[in-house]
Amino acid sequence: MTLQSAEPAAVARRVLVVDDARTVRLYYRGILEKAGIDVTEAENGLEGLEKAEAASFDLLLVDINMPKMDGYAMLRAIRADPTMRGTPAIMISTEAEGRDAQRAYEAGANVYLVKPVRPEQLRAFAELLMGVPA
Amino acid sequence: MSALLDQFIEEASDLLEAAGAALLVLERNPSDERAINDLFRSVHTLKGTSALFEFPELTKLVHAGEDLLDCVREGSVPVSGELVDLQLEVLDVLRGWVDYVRAQGGLPNDAASSSRELIARLGAMKITGRPTELPASPQAGVAPEVIGDWIETVSERERMTAFRAALDDGLTVAAIVYKPDTDCYFRGEDPLLTWRGVPDLLALLIGTVGPEPALIDFDPYVCRLQFHALSTAPKAELEHLFRYVSDQVRIAEIPPERLAVPVGVDGTDPQSAAFADECAAWVGAGRLPELRERALTLLASIDSTRRSASALRWLIAVIESAGDHADWLRELVGAVGGNTPAAFEEADVAVVPGSELVDRVVEEQRRILALPADDTVVLAGRIASVGKSLANIAAAQQAFAAARILEGATAAALQSNDARPLLDALHACFDIVSRLAGGAAAEDVPVSRAQPISADGHDLRQTRMLKVDQAKVDRLMSLIGELVVAKNALPFLARRAEAVYGSREMSREIGQRYSVIDRLAQEMQEAIMEVRLLPVSEVFARFPRLIRDISRKLDKQIELVLEGEETQADKNIIELLGDPLIHIVRNAADHGIESPQARIAKGKPAHGTIRLRAMQEGDLVVIEVSDDGRGVDTKRVLAKAVERGLINPEDAERMTAAEAANLIFHPGLSTADVVSDLSGRGVGMDVVQTSIRDAGGSVSVSSQLDVGTKVRLALPLSMAVVRVMTIETAGALYGVPIDMIAETVRIDSSAIREIKQAEAFLLRDTIVPLVRLRKLLRLPSRYEEREAVLVLRTAAGLVGMIVDRFDEHMDIILKPLEGILVGLKGFSGTALLGDGRVLMVLDVRELL
Amino acid sequence: MPLELRDDEASLVGSCTADEALEFSDWLANSAQPKVDLAACTHLHAALLQTLLAYKPAITARPADPFLARWISPLL
């Protein structure tokens, strides 16, 4: 007997990319779209929060240091909202591991990566956290 | 990628402009916090963005500028005219480089030297607040991994001292990695002198870099040393100490659990295994003093060089330390029993790529759940996101049952506002899932490694081949077979939990665990089957020689064409194919292909062609042997069959050409005298058919006179699991493959009719002959009022077999008869049952 | 003289600097069975350490200096 119901449907996954650097957003978009993933961009935490409230996403990709609202604050707000709190999040920073990683996890990140993230690395993490079979 | 570069050039120009403007505001008003933040963010963003490209000089320079601004922001370096001048100079240089990149696509040649010079001046200003001109360091060290595998090579005693200092005295433990430049001695640096000054040094590993040069090439002035160390001195103090060589040193604080890694000789013993089993629950139950006592007792009785002993020592140290560390304790208790703790997994990574990614991400989720949460909203957010991530990770491994368990546990954890149910599910699901399903992800993607792609970094990730003794694979296969059988006990247990103990919940839970184990067992089965796959080329390889020999001997011209040699099938199947294939190919060459003269006379090319083609069709491996020879003369085959009384003339009339051709498999037409008459087609074809059928396959032939013949063999890809119905007769258990069984019926003894010596019964207007299993097996006979009858499908139609009792259906892995059982007629093999009994599987065809 | 070279035994005395490394490594390269006495050595430059690690001479006397005794001596 086999049980198979949670099998994911072939719907495109949606990722919200939040980074104040245009080039970085373009870079992530290129990698993710190549993997058949829909990308929405936001250029700071506040805009990210607004976009996350307006639509549902399968994954958040969040920078730390941003104007208006930083990544920590944005993730804390997401995690406190019962409708959005379950969305997996990857935090990406230029700082090495250590305190920053700790702070990222405390704020609500599920994975902490250090820039620059290699394309295959980003893709593997994103797909894993969204339940896409490798 | 050029669109990305265009975007970078544009954005970098904007950022540099914004930074310049903020810098000028800052000069007029050094306490303008907004200007400082704007400036810092622009530079920070530029750093992150530039790292996407191969402009290391640019990235390093921006990084150094950012470092200095960080000090300004913290207030440790004042804003001075000199500082603004230097930063403006840096911005000018950067702007020049960006313009150069726009025009040339790369950095100017002198970028490295001007980058070095500016970095040195920025560094000097950071320390002194003054732009002292320091000599530029010739090359910045490659960013090393600070917290890495090396920590485990630090002696256990030293790590334990550091661990206690961290937990008992609340000190931070810093990891220091110092890789001096090869020419550092020429700059008057003495790394050992620097180490002498390091306070609270707990461990110092000194190693050499790169391959050992021959002594003849040894140069004492090329520094080849590298250092790894642990210290409990504050990170800031250490950074200050290493400030002159900061580009060669990395310092990071180590989380204490990173130190608590058991090391030692592998292997386990019954005592340790029993400890791990018995004490696993003690951690959650808070029975720590007892656990410590048990650990001390066990430690005294086992080999201290074992990894389990090391795990015990760590276990004791963690219990004795301050604070609640249930997760570490659980992991260590498992490690005593021989489990490899997650943090220690890395050595095996090359063998199972991909599982590292899963392991690491799961480990992060475990740590997130273990973080202290000061309010319930934060905790709920963590539980929800970790639960979702874990369920998705399980789904990505195709472990859907585990995914559902995790979802359920997440809901339970949210409801009770306690992470524990999710933590338990994490342990239950991922201990197995990550290790077994790990092969799924193809790429090894380490978390948080900031290294760019490098040629040598990839070496580790190449596939490693392992030569394994066949017997080991066979043993693994039979163990998995037993697991498949053993898991069948769980649904039974679930029923009992409900029926006997009245616990529906327990029943459901067992059912859930069963579906996880079932899924895993299936995946294991597939994985082991895959290991056993061999390419068909193993069998095909012998044919070129065979054909060459035959064509020489018979003076024929034969071309052999091999196709689909890469098609794979189970080793047993491949081995079994050899003899029948030789037979068929020989037939084609000996008798099918005509002599060149005869071929020319028929208008065919002088050389004949024999084609061996292998392919996969669903779960079958198909091999076709075709030739363009004289083909089977079906008219003569039919005439011969009628003559021999194998078929009656009426049937012969109605037969299609294909049916007629397949008559050559009939034993009565395969004998030599007939064969010579039939131009040799069909020698021993009945033997071919039998051996292929025994392996669960089928053979068919199609032929056209003077055009050619094609024999098609179809076999299962692997000796997969057989589903049998178990039956009881004379106190023993037998299995009958389900696909042989048409139905099971119970009949009154009065319904049995005796026709001559034989028995039969009427099944929906059809007379079905009856046999008694007891009789077939020469067991004492027994007659009942109502008999249990298995209605079997056979080549000759339905046959009823009377057995004592029907039992349940079961998945088994059939093992061929071995030892004294070889040659025993009527049985196709045996299987081991969950309770240790042996099931004999009946070969119905042979038995009847 | 921090470096005292004899036929088959050398003594490193006091604080030994990088300047000694070339002479020391030449001596090690040319001795059949070199022995080294570190008893009176108070500091060893890294260049000398890597020379010792490369030639692996027999150590006849261990250093008394606490830093060397604790961290360096076990490697030799």
Residues B17-60 have pLDDT tens digits of 889 888 888 888 888 888 888 888 888 888 888 888 888 888 88
Task: Determine the average pLDDT of the residues in B584-593.
Answer: 85
C-interface mutation test, from B184, B206, B248, most C Cβ less than 10 A away: B206
Contact B389 A24 (CB under 8 A): no
Q: Which of C40, C46, C47 is CA-nearest to residue C61?
A: C40
Those residues whose C-beta lies under 8 Å from the C-beta of residue B186, and which sit 6 or more positions away, are B221
Strands, E assignment, chain C: 3-5, 9-12, 14-16, 35-37, 41-44, 58-61
The reply to whether C39 touches chain B by the CB within 8 Å rule is no
Q: Which of B180, B185, B204 sits opposite C71 (nearest CB)?
A: B204
d(CA B789, CA B208): 78
Which residues have a Cβ under 8 Å from the Cβ of A66 and sit 6 or more positions away?
A18, A19, A20, A43, A44, A45, B41
Domain locations along chain A: 14-130
Closest-CA residue in chain B for C28?
Answer: B215
User: In this predicted structure, what is the pLDDT of residue B592?
Assistant: 85
Give the model's pLDDT for residue B476. 84
Do residues B394 and B505 touch, judged by C-beta distance below 8 A?
A: no
User: Does position B606 have pLDDT exceeding 70, yes or no?
Assistant: yes
C-alpha–C-alpha distance, residues B354 and B624, integer Å: 38
Homologous superfamily of B722-847? CheA-289, Domain 4 (2.40.50.180)
The Cβ of residue B252 has, within 10 Å, a number of other Cβ atoms equal to 18
The rounded distance, in Å, linking the Cα atoms of B534 and B540 is 12
CB contact under 8 A, C55 and B215: yes
Put simply, the answer to whether A80 touches B381 (Cβ < 8 Å) is yes
- Name the minimum distance, in Å, from the CA of C37 to any CA of chain B: 19
- Mean pLDDT in chain B? 79
Helices C21-30 and C46-55 pack at an angle, to 10 degrees, of 10
The fold of B536-716 is: Heat Shock Protein 90 (3.30.565)
pLDDT per residue, tens digit, chain A (134 aa), is 333 333 444 567 899 999 998 888 988 998 899 888 999 999 999 999 999 988 889 999 999 888 889 899 999 999 999 889 999 999 988 765 556 788 899 899 999 988 777 888 888 899 999 988 76
A109: nearest Cα among A81, A73, A133, A134 = A73
Comparing B120 with B612, which gets the higher pLDDT? B612
**Cβ–Cβ contacts within 10 Å for residue A88, how many?**
30
**Helix B420-436 vs helix B355-370: angle between axes, to the nearest 10 degrees?**
170
Number of domains in chain C: 1
- The CATH number of domain B150-258, selected from 1.10.8, 3.30.420, 3.40.50, 3.30.70: 3.30.70
Cα–Cα distance measured from residue B252 to residue B174, given in angstroms and rounded to the nearest whole number: 5
The ipTM (two decimal places) reads 0.95
Buried b or exposed e, range B786-800, using 16+ CB within 10 angstroms: ebbbbbbeeeeeebb
DSSP string, B630-643: ----HHHHHHHHHH
- pLDDT of A77: 92
CA distances to B405, B427, B477, B532, B571 from B470, in Å: 37, 33, 11, 9, 10
Say whether B220 and C50 touch across the interface (CB within 8 A). yes
Q: Is C21 on the interface with B (CB under 8 A)?
A: yes
Task: Inspect the interface and report whether the beta carbons of A27 and B368 lie closer than 8 Å.
Answer: no
**Structural domain of residue C7, as residue ranges?**
3-67
Q: Is pLDDT of B251 > 80?
A: yes
Q: Enumerate the domain spans of chain B.
A: 2-128, 150-258, 267-348, 350-448, 470-532, 536-716, 722-847
Q: Give the Cβ contact number of residue B229 at 10 Å.
A: 23
Q: Which residues of B touch A110 (CB under 8 A)?
A: 361, 364-365, 368, 385-386, 389
pLDDT tens sequence across B653-669: 888 877 888 887 777 66
The beta-carbon neighbor of C75 closest among B206, B215, B220 is B206
* B440 to A133: CB separation less than 8 angstroms, yes or no: yes
**Would you call C5 an interface residue with chain B, using a CB distance cutoff of 8 Å?**
no
- Is residue B714 over pLDDT 90? no
User: Is residue C60 one of the residues assigned to a domain?
Assistant: yes
Tell whether B192 is within 8 A of chain C (Cβ).
yes
- CB contact under 8 Å between C50 and B212, yes or no, is no
Whether chain A lies against chain C with 3 or more Cβ pairs closer than 8 A is: no
Q: What is the pLDDT of residue A90?
A: 95
Whose tokens are 């009426």? That residue is: B650
Provide the 3-class DSSP secondary structure of residue B259.
Answer: coil
Asked if the structure places residue C75 within a domain, the reply is: no
CA distance readout (Å), B239 to B191, B244, B248, B405: 15, 9, 12, 47
| Contact by Cβ (8 Å): B203, B155 | yes
Which chain B residues have a beta carbon less than 8 Å from that of A87?
A: 385, 388
> In whole angstroms, what is the distance from residue B74 CA to residue B33 CA?
11
Residue type, B373: A
Q: Which amino acid is at B72?
A: V
Q: In B, residues 211-230, which contact C (CB 8 Å cutoff)?
A: 212, 215, 218, 220-221, 223-225
pLDDT at residue B130, as a whole number = 53
* Mean pLDDT on B563-587: 85
CATH superfamily of A14-130: Response regulator (3.40.50.2300)
Residue B613 has pLDDT above 90, yes or no: yes
CATH fit for domain B2-128, picks 3.10.580.10, 3.40.50.300, 3.40.50.970, 1.20.120.160: 1.20.120.160
Token pair of C17, please? 């600097």
* Cβ-defined contact of B221 to C44 (cutoff 8 Å): no
Contacts with A98 from chain B: Cβ below 8 Å: 252-253
Which of B791, B739, B787 is CA-nearest to residue B764?
B791
Contact residues on chain C for B208, CB-CB shorter than 8 A? 50, 53
Provide the sign of the torsion angle of the four alpha carbons B495, B497, B499, B505, taken in this order: negative
The pLDDT value given to residue B461: 35
A26 touches chain B (CB under 8 A): yes
- Contact present, B560 and B543 (Cβ < 8 Å): yes
Task: Read off the pLDDT of residues B769-800 as tens digits, 9 standing for 90 and up.
Answer: 999 998 888 888 888 888 999 999 887 788 99
Q: Which residues of C touch B201 (CB under 8 A)?
A: 71
Q: Nearest CA to CA, how far is C75 from chain B (Å)?
A: 8
Mean pLDDT throughout B702-724?
81
Q: How confident is the model at residue A87, as a pLDDT?
A: 94
Chain A CB contacts of B397 under 8 Å are 133
Touching subunits of A (3+ CB pairs, under 8 Å) are B
Positive/negative CA dihedral, B733, B737, B738, B742 = negative
Q: Which of B392, B410, B487 to mutate to test the interface with A (most CBs of A within 10 A)?
A: B392
Is residue C63 assigned to a domain?
yes
Confidence category of residue B816, pLDDT binned at 50, 70, 90:
low
